[in-house]
Chain A
């Protein structure tokens, strides 16, 4: 199945292999470009490996979950996050490319925040990693601003009818992360247990944190 769907519905030439197990055209094209750039001394293959490893294994939504869990449990941290989100996030060791300046927006009773980038795919990389396919999709980028309840319904999320939905259309200069509301019945949980409840989608506003068994 093609996960990174093109915006048009009927083209699927991003499959990794064709029916015969041969590499796809874009796969071959990317390999050809890499070969040329390495031959010219323009890129170091080890740097490419390190970049991939960073985004596969170190820079992802578990970072953001730590920020949220800290905000839930430490009122002083929450204040620092409100005053200067970028600095408060850097305290936990998350900073840099694709999130040089981050603003955390807080959900509250009756207020729900939703993050989108209608013009491209700006996303807070240091805290959430690379954006999922749906965040980059035309379906999400087109509809989040005009039909936020509709895109939430696609993810099975129904908010009360009187909830105010604040959509944030990002640019690359300022990227947003949603601080969801702490689930009920979690008073006894520590930071790590709370972080496990924080889903990637809840930090974009397309989901809610996992509930705990009553």
Chain B
């Protein structure tokens, strides 16, 4: 979707402000917002891509005005409602419905370290060879789906070169919307800065983007 999450190449957001390595969290509630999102994800009802798309579909004004963990929290609420974990009445009242079943948490304290160390790898097997090889020139498709996509606007319709083949990975554009999404070959595609930004960009600079086969056409 062409939303305000897709920021590459925009102007006007001001300088980048450095910060020291610690503290990791700048407010206590950031800790809980992060941890709740991780813990609820462990139920396995939604993919990371659906979770990301839930944040992207916030109203554009909220995308700009909410802080990072406010956007995470808003995305989590969207998912909790969509997947039936809570009701609007429960959120409004701040307590469980009297008839609601009491569940057993999907993730307990002692399980956390092992679950984090395992993660959820996106690599899959695929019964066909990749269409492109490192060194091949490719053009990105010019497409503007209203759904989730990892092809940023600034890189659409441009010619680049495959520099790495990452193997088949679940296609995020599809998995944001359905659980049985297929795997597609994933590449790192390098674009000259001047191809993306015109003659004002420095010669020799480049931007390399992870893109799946459906994002690419042969040149």
Contacts and interface: CB of A to CB of B under 8 A. Distances in A.
- A joins B in a complex: yes
Interface in B40-76: 40, 43, 48-49, 52, 55-56, 63-70, 73, 76
B36 A138 contact: no
Interface in B10-25: 10-11, 13-19, 21, 24-25
A39 B208 CA distance: 46
A188 interface: no
Contacts of A18: none
Given A48-B39, A142-B8, A26 B69 contact: yes
A67 B117 CA distance: 17
A30 B86 contact: no
Interface stretch (A71-79, A98-106, A178-186, A189-197): A98-106
B5 to A, nearest CB: 6
Interface in A164-210: 164-174, 199-201, 206
Contacts of B112: 47, 50-51, 54
B30 A100 contact: no
Interface residues of A, number: 94
A35 interface: yes
Given A48-B35, A48-B39, 13 more contacts: A2-B67, A7-B64, A34-B32, A46-B108, A100-B120, A100-B122, A101-B121, A118-B152, A120-B52, A129-B24, A138-B64, A173-B172, A174-B210
8 contacts: A26-B70, A43-B40, A60-B24, A119-B150, A138-B13, A149-B202, A171-B172, A173-B172
Interface in B160-201: 164, 166, 169-170, 172, 186, 188, 190, 196-197, 201
A96 B152 contact: no
Nearest to A131: B68
A42 to B, nearest CB: 5
Interface of A: 2-9, 11, 13-16, 23-24, 26-27, 29-37, 39-44, 46-52, 54-56, 59-61, 95-101, 103, 118-121, 126, 129-130, 132-134, 136-143, 145-146, 148-149, 151, 154-155, 162, 164-174, 199-201, 206
Nearest to B38: A51
B205 interface: yes
Contacts of A51: 34-35, 38-39, 112, 116
A134 B77 contact: no
A27 B27 contact: yes
Interface in B91-148: 91, 94-96, 100, 102-113, 115-123
B109 A31 contact: no
Given A37-B36, A48-B32, A51-B38, A103 B164 contact: yes
A44 to B, nearest CB: 4
B66 A6 contact: yes
A155 B18 contact: yes
